Structure 1
Amino acid sequence: MRIVGRVFCKNLVRAFSGSSLGTGNNHLRFKTHSFSLSPYSTVAELQPQSSVELIKIMEHRLSAIEHRSVYLQGIINQPEASPTEYSRANKELQNLNAKMDLISKLRTIQKEIESLKSLVGDCEQDKDMQAMAYEELEQALKEEGYLHNLLLKALLPKDDADERDCILEVRAGTGGEEASLFAMDMFKMYERYSLKKGWRFEVVDVTDSNMKGYKEATAAISGVDVYGKLKFESGVHRVQRVPVTEKSGRVHTSAVSVAILPQADEVDVQLRNEDLRIDTYRSGGSGGQHANTTNSAVRITHIPSGLTVAIQDERSQHMNKAKALKVLCSRLYEVERCRAQNSRSKLRSEQIGSGDRSERIRTYNFPQGRVTDHRIGFTHHSIGDVMQGESLDYFIDALLLQQEMDAVADFTATSHHH
């Protein structure tokens, strides 16, 4: 049944860039030259021709929502409903509100389409009138298609964490100093991208390497839908370039791993004092004028999980402790989320990348000036723009589009099993 979703998806991509789908592994192959993604980064705005099959499935879901809404409304209007029943029904109705608004708009336009169709049939004699009716019918059908797409988007499963802020962790992997220098470049790339988006980028901790690169660096990024935008950046980023230290001009390959964690707080994660071991020590590093003479660096170990977070960025121990707790909460929350997702379904493994930190997701090839994302087979030929945070949206939007298309296919498949 997955075929129907894919057919719909193919229309989606065609509508989107006149590009072709690769065979075999359902990966998208985008033609770089016809690629203008930013304005069209959601299903709803693309308005492809939805397949008849998909609309049938959607209609089934929509009428179920309408019936549920009537039922909940009934509970709310019952004087004998208990406060618990009332508040539960009220809460669910609130959640259905946005969908119900769209459904009623859809029903209105569908009635209009019916009457315009009969009007077209009725005025055979009056050609002017018929032409006007046709024109209005065309417009109404377009609007119906648009509402279908909005509703499809509303029906697709959502990740509640998408709206959250995030913690960015960048670590130098294989490749020695060159990996550390690239880790610094990447960290700065995300900082530029965040500023361009109007997000707040706060450096949490940086561990310098000998040559002024970053062994690892952590930042807290906050703004609208930050995690939802950046979540597909998690994984191994590979760089191919001639290191500054290389005299003979040979290209080296190094790797940097990136982790994007949804920000969490004490409400999401139950942190008990007895589960934490907090050590303070003098911060090391290159020092210079920041050399620390007090024990302000903080290491927090979460005993049950063995997770450790060390922060030595601020002069104040109190600030470092607060930052370390913030990162620890986010890591524990992510572990819990992954566990829940894996137990719910194997769907994760079919999505764009398993989110596995060890998975190689992107290659930055400096000699050839190109960046390739291996999950969607998309290459962008201006590496400078990507590193400036300018063209990162091409990758982010393409990955979000692929995710949406996978969700459409899953939506179609699961609807048939029910």
Structure 2
Amino acid sequence: MAEITLLDRLDGLDARFEEVSTLITDPSVIADQKRYVRLSKEYHDLEVIIKAKNEYKSKLDAIAESKEILSMEDDDEMKALAREELDSASAAIPELEEKIKLLLIPADPDDAKNAVVEIRGGTGGDEAALFAGDLFRMYQKYAETKGWQLTVSSVSEGAAGGYKEIVFNLTGSDVYGTMKYESGVHRVQRVPATETQGRVHTSAATVAVLPEAQEFDVEIHEGEIKWDTFRSGGAGGQNVNKVESGVRLRYNWKNPNTGVVEEILIECTETRDQPKNKERALARLRTFIYDKEHQKYLDDIASRRKTMVSTGDRSAKIRTYNYPQGRITDHRINYTVYNLGAFMDGDIQGCIDSLIVAENAEKLKAAEL
């Protein structure tokens, strides 16, 4: 009965897949970028689930055929082959059912996007800035293992090292869907380098992971942007100090949730090329507005979920890094491991995988699948 119910849920997907396949080749659809992108994403999602459906149905057919052979065939060799096929197909069914159930749950439309990550030193002064630097290096090394490209767009260094604030972009496959679990307050417990009595201090840094907005996600009137240029400070040689490569934009934006007009100020000094800095400042503006306009969506998710696995809540304490014990604890799912050194070197996939499993279990329960 379970098999029939699951196949019933998949009924009609083939027809929709054919319809979407036709639509994405229609010139009028291609000309409408918003619709084209949405349908292309739907096409990809349907393609994955239909492939799983076909594999699932193939296994069910193999089981039925094997059972028929076992009940009617007298030849021992044929029966042995049928029994082997029956065992193999039956073993694959539970995993395929779980996969299809998860595919039936609507995915977060932002998961496939690139991400903008903001790390800010919180309570703890210089030690918090140093910890923010440690977190940045952790994500930098993790990005390398995933084959993602990391580009820093804004930096404010701490007096004793590390960062008061650092903003960077991650570009690659399913970046936001992976990194969104890192949003929140990260707490560190360790003896600071400046501590003479050997006492353990507690400091914190805040991580915010935002989906990178594309040009057609938000509407920006570029003619209303006020641009300034300035000479970048810091390291970089004579060119940085003499050429006005740094850019600053000001944009008045009406918050659709409050109706209040807010001035957005963004600076970018990442490269020595002013046009590139302008392009990256515009990307940050789009992401900022996109994040604000979708905050209600995030709040709705947060109100529905009990585990707070990936709500985007930036005020929630999500993880503790305890150096004396070499321990990492993720408080959302009571996940604890004692491999702090490897974790800080970018080995965070195990924790993220556990968070994904917890969230998927919650989604399945909510969907009553």
How far apart in 1 are the matches of 2:49 and 2:323? 47
What is the Cα-based RMSD across aligned positions, in Å?
A: 3.3
2:159 corresponding residue in structure 1: 210
The residue identity in structure 2 corresponding to 1:103 is K
Aligned to 1:106: 56
Structure 1 contact 341–348 (Cα < 8 Å) conserved? no
Aligned: 1:355 with 2:312: yes
Look up the match of 2:149: 200
In 2, the alpha carbon distance for the partners of 1:230 and 1:69 equals 30
Q: 1:299/1:262 Cα in 2 relative to 1: closer, same or farther (>3 Å)? A: same
1:140 corresponding residue in structure 2: 89
CA distance in 2, matches of 1:364, 1:343: 30
TM-fit CA distance, 1:346? 4.0
* Residue equivalent to 1:167: 116
Amino acid at match of 1:404: N
Give the counterpart letter for 1:375 in structure 2: R
User: How far apart, in 2, do the equivalents of 1:183 and 1:358 lie?
Assistant: 16
Cα shift at 1:361: 0.6
The 1:232–1:122 alpha-carbon spacing in structure 2 relative to 1, beyond 3 Å, is: same
Deviations 1:188-217 (A, max 9, x none): 111111112221111212111211221101
> Match for 1:115 among 62, 65, 71?
65
Superposed, which structure 2 residues align to 1:202-351 within 5 Å?
Answer: 202-273=151-222, 276-281=225-230, 283=232, 292=241, 296-304=245-253, 305=255, 306=262, 307-342=264-299, 346-348=303-305, 351=308
Question: C-alpha distance in 1, partners of 2:297/2:71?
Answer: 56
1:376 paired with 2:333, answer yes
Aligned residue among 357, 362, 367 for 1:406: 362
Deviation at 1:330, TM superposition (A): 1.4
For residues 153-197 of structure 1, the C-alpha deviation after alignment (integer angstroms, 9 at most, x for no partner) is 321221222222111111111110110111111111111111122
Match of 2:7 among 59, 71, 85: 59
What per-residue deviation string (whole Å, max 9, x for no partner) do you get for residues 14-61 of structure 1? xxxxxxxxxxxxxxxxxxxxxxxxxxxxxxxxxxxxxx75x5542331
Q: Is the 8 A contact 1:165 1:226 kept in 2?
A: yes
> Which residue is 1:367 aligned to?
324
- Name the SS of the counterpart of 1:245 in structure 2: coil
- CA offset digits 1:91-118 (Å, max 9, x no partner): 8777644433433333333223222212
Moved more, 237-246 or 272-281: 272-281
Instruction: Give the distance between the partners of 1:170 and 1:119, measured in 2 at CA.
Output: 62
> Residue 379 of structure 1: SS of its match in structure 2?
strand
SS in 2 for 1:161: coil
| Structure 2 residue ranges without an equivalent (≥5) | 23-27, 256-261
Alignment of 1:397 onto 2:346: no
- Aligned partners of 2:302 and 2:311: how far apart in 1? 12
Deviation at residue 296 of structure 1 after TM alignment: 4.5
> Mean alpha-carbon deviation: is it higher for 153-162 or for 303-312?
303-312
> What are the ranges of 5 or more consecutive residues in structure 1 without an aligned counterpart?
1-51, 77-82, 414-418
Check 1:299–1:139 CA distance in 2 against 1; reply closer, same or farther (3 A cut).
same
Q: Secondary structure at the match of 1:169?
A: strand
> 1:217 corresponds to which letter in structure 2?
I
Cα distance, 1:175–1:277 mapped onto 2, change above 3 Å: farther
Higher relative CO (CA 8 A, sep ≥ 6), structure 1 or 2? 1
Larger mean CA deviation between 331-340 and 345-354 belongs to 345-354
Aligned to 1:180: 129
Aligned residue pair count: 347
CA distance in 1, matches of 2:340, 2:368: 38
- In structure 2, what is the Cα distance between the partners aligned to 1:283 and 1:252? 36
What TM-score comes out, normalization by structure 2 length? 0.82
Q: What is the alpha-carbon distance in structure 2 between the residues aligned to residue 298 and residue 93 of structure 1?
A: 39
Is 1:387 the counterpart of 2:335? The answer is: no
Counterpart of 2:25 in structure 1 is none
**Structure 1 residues 58, 377: closer, same or farther in 2, change over 3 A?**
same
Q: 1:302 to 1:238 in 2, by over 3 A?
A: farther
How far did residue 392 of structure 1 move?
Answer: 0.8
Residue identity matched to 2:144: L
Kept after mapping to 2: 8 A contact 1:278/1:299: yes
- In structure 2, relative to structure 1, the CA distance for the partners of 1:168 and 1:69 (3 Å cut) is closer
Report if aligned partners of 2:120, 2:207 keep a CA contact under 8 Å in 1.
yes
Return the letter of the residue paired with 1:188: R
- Residue 294 of structure 2 aligns with an amino acid whose one-letter code is R
Report the CA distance shift for 1:239/1:110 in structure 2 as closer, same or farther (over 3 A): same
Of 180-189 and 114-123, more deviation after overlay is shown by 114-123
Checking the alignment, whether the CA contact within 8 Å between 1:351 and 1:406 is kept in structure 2 is no
